[in-house]
């Protein structure tokens, strides 16, 4: 009998005889979230999702900023749900509803562009070709996430550079006044006297799409006449856009404060635990079709693995450089570096980069000096443990644009354009994930006696019906990470306990003397 060999061609990944998975290209699926239940997610599409999948819920925007026409424009007043994320597992799919194994842990605002991302899980895995993600398109994308239940080996780079918030686009500006427009920090979209701001964590509004004020972590745009766009922000502050200097004309020797303001620095902490795309750079102002747009910020990368063998390859989420060398007009700002999360134990010969993009330059040889682009800020590298060895980190902000022609009166200067501030490496990452399903009023409890808890879920307080034998005993409240977050004593048979100070999620009430437990959900 002849032996027949059968070869299977699989898209994106394949398995060899040793159970190794080779990956490249785009491995994630994305869907916009249209509704949220206690333990379910309504989505725009379930294509690419299946029962048993790991997923990430993440809100991309929704911050509130100072919108006064002052230098404070763009200052973040409230992050709201922007940057909130968590991991979950799919129980089942019905129509356009994804049911989860456990409850949704955190609060989300659908107006802030919430998406669900499929997170593939592999065994031993090799990055065989360039691995990336779908670029942020205004509702989904910008996230590359996967888990490896053993060793991840890089034979190629992982790259989400430029997959984050968009840079400001060029507009058909004009020279409105020789004195320029230096007082307005926001203008309506397509205003002739300015250009488009870079994108950030605040929702887009046509009435403030242009102008030199920052767009939260999106860089401000250059103003009339020919101001430079600012760099996007992430952990660091984006670089200020260059101003305009008229050495001979319009009027002679007049210096205009027309550069965009740098994208704001975003707050990161282990207690708040939020993550963000890199901000886009602001565009430069043009009136002779010689300006350049802002560039995109970096995306978000999440990798969970036992160890990573880097083989001197890179995991990048950089802001994009503004490399256009124009011959006149204001130049755009660089995008900010993105955010990279590692839930791993060991690293070897790995390079990790979240640097900001360069600001735009020009080679104009005339007498007037127009604004150059500010540099994008550095992003965030966030790990579960301190990195002692095996990883080289790159966190710098992008350089500002300069005048490259020796014939320019401003040769080798930036005319006020600044570099983006550097990013930061953070430790003690704990990835949020619920470990308990939703329960109806009077949930099932465990131990020698029954604890009846209601209402459940609750937002302000719960009432606990306590067996007589437990009155006077102490209890603790434990979160889904096993941390004691509150404590008390069962004082009466019907005991009221305030939970308004607890973060949304699943909790356990533990009365250890008699080994009694009760679960509740804080919404």
Contact 379, 315 (CB under 8 A): no
Q: What is the pLDDT of residue 256?
A: 83
Residue 476 maps to a domain: yes
Number of domains in the chain: 1
Q: What is the DSSP letter of 218?
A: B
> What pLDDT sits at residue 151?
96
Q: Is residue 286 part of a domain?
A: no
Name the pLDDT band for 3 (thresholds 50, 70, 90): very low
In a domain, 83, yes or no: no
Beta bridge partners of 244: 256
User: Residue 410: its pLDDT value, please?
Assistant: 85
pLDDT at 224: 85
Whether 466 is covered by a domain: the verdict is: yes
CA distance 279 to 302: 18
pLDDT of residue 129: 97
In the predicted model, what is the mean pLDDT of the chain? 88
- Predicted local confidence at residue 4, as pLDDT: 35
81 neighbors 59 (Cβ within 8 angstroms) = yes
Residues 177-195 have a mean pLDDT of: 84
User: Residue 497 is part of which domain span?
Assistant: 445-522
Is the pLDDT at 475 greater than 90? The verdict is no
Looking at the predicted structure, is the pLDDT value of residue 386 above 60? yes
Least confident residue range of 69-78, 125-134, 281-290, 449-458: 449-458
pLDDT at position 143 over 80? yes
Q: Is residue 250 part of a domain?
A: no
Q: What is the pLDDT of residues 445-463, one digit of tens each?
A: 444 556 778 787 788 888 8
SS3 (DSSP) at 336: coil
The stretch 286-314 carries a mean pLDDT of: 95
Tell me whether residue 465 is exposed, middle or buried, using C-beta atoms within 10 angstroms of its C-beta: 0 to 12, 13 to 18, 19 or more: middle
Q: Residue 442 pLDDT > 50, yes or no? A: no
pLDDT in tens, 5-33: 333 333 333 333 346 899 999 999 999 99
Q: Calculate mean pLDDT across residues 381-398.
A: 94
pLDDT digits 0-9 by tens, 68-78: 999 999 999 99
Sign of the four-CA dihedral 433, 436, 441, 446: negative
Q: How confident is the model at residue 481 (pLDDT cuts 50, 70, 90)?
A: low
Higher pLDDT: 252 or 98? It is: 98
Bigger pLDDT: 435 or 396? 396
Please check whether residue 450 lies inside any domain of the structure.
yes
Would 267 be classed as within a structural domain?
Answer: no
Is the pTM higher than 0.95? no
pLDDT on residue 449: 58
pLDDT tens, residue by residue, 197-218: 999 999 999 999 999 999 999 9
CATH of the domain at 518: 2.60.40
Element holding 426 (H helix, E strand): strand 424-426
Confidence of residue 248 (pLDDT cuts 50, 70, 90): low
pLDDT band of 60, cuts 50, 70, 90: very high
Q: Given this model, what pLDDT does residue 249 score?
A: 61
466-474 average pLDDT score: 80
What is the predicted pLDDT for the residue at 14?
A: 36
User: Taking the CA of residue 37 as centre, how many other CA atoms within 13 Å lie in the half-sphere pointing to its CB?
Assistant: 15
* DSSP-based three-state secondary structure for 435: coil
Residue 483 lies in a domain: yes
Q: What is the pLDDT of residue 88?
A: 96
Which one-letter DSSP state was computed for residue 227?
A: P
Categorize the per-residue pLDDT at 252 as very low, low, confident or very high, splitting at 50, 70 and 90.
low
How sure is the predictor about 512, in pLDDT bands with cuts at 50, 70 and 90?
A: low
């Amino acid at each position: 009998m002849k032996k027949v060999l059968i070869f299977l061609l699989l898209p994106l990944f394949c398995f060899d005889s040793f159970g190794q998975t080779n990956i490249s290209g785009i491995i994630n699926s994305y869907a916009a979230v249209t509704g949220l239940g206690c333990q379910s997610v309504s989505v725009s599409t379930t294509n690419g999702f299946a029962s048993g999948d790991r997923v990430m819920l993440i809100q991309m925007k929704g911050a509130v900023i100072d919108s006064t026409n002052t230098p404070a424009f763009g200052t973040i007043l409230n992050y709201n749900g922007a940057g909130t994320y968590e991991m979950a597992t799919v129980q089942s799919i019905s129509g356009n509803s994804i049911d989860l194994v456990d409850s949704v842990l955190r609060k989300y605002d659908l107006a802030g562009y919430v998406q669900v991302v499929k997170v593939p899980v592999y065994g031993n895995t090799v990055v065989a070709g360039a691995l990336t993600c779908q670029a942020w398109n205004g509702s989904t994308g910008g996230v590359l996430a996967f888990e490896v239940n053993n060793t991840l080996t890089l034979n190629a780079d992982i790259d989400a550079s430029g997959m984050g918030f968009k840079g400001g686009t060029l507009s058909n500006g004009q020279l409105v006044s020789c004195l320029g427009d230096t007082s307005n920090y926001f203008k309506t979209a397509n205003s002739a006297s300015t250009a488009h701001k870079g994108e950030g964590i605040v929702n887009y509004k046509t009435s403030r799409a242009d102008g030199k004020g920052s767009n939260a972590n999106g860089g401000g745009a250059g103003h009339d006449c020919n101001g430079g766009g600012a760099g996007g922000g992430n952990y660091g502050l984006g670089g200020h856009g260059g101003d305009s200097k008229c050495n001979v004309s319009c009027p002679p020797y007049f210096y205009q404060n027309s550069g965009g303001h740098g994208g704001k620095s975003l707050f990161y902490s282990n207690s708040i635990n939020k993550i963000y795309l890199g901000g886009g750079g602001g565009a430069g102002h043009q009136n002779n079709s010689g300006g350049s747009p802002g560039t995109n910020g970096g995306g978000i990368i999440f990798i969970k693995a036992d160890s990573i063998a880097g083989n001197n390859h890179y995991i990048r989420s950089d802001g994009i450089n503004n490399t256009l060398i124009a011959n006149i007009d204001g130049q755009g700002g660089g995008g900010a570096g993105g955010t990279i999360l590692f839930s791993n134990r060991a690293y070897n010969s790995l390079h990790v980069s979240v640097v900001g993009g360069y600001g735009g330059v020009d080679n104009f040889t005339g007498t007037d000096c127009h604004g150059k682009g500010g540099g994008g800020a550095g992003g965030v590298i966030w790990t579960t443990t301190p990195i002692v060895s095996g990883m080289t980190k790159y966190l710098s902000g992008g350089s500002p644009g300069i005048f490259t022609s020796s014939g320019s009166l401003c040769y080798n200067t930036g005319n006020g354009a600044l570099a983006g501030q550097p990013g930061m490496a953070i430790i003690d990452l704990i990835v949020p994930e619920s470990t308990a399903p939703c329960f109806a009023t009077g949930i099932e409890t465990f131990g020698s006696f029954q604890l009846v808890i209601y209402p459940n879920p609750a937002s302000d307080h719960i009432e606990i019906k306590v067996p007589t034998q437990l009155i006077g005993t102490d209890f603790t409240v434990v979160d889904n990470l096993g941390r004691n977050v509150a404590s008390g004593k069962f004082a009466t048979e019907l005991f009221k306990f305030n939970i308004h100070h607890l973060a949304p999620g699943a909790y356990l009430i533990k009365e250890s003397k008699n080994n009694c437990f009760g679960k509740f959900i804080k919404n």
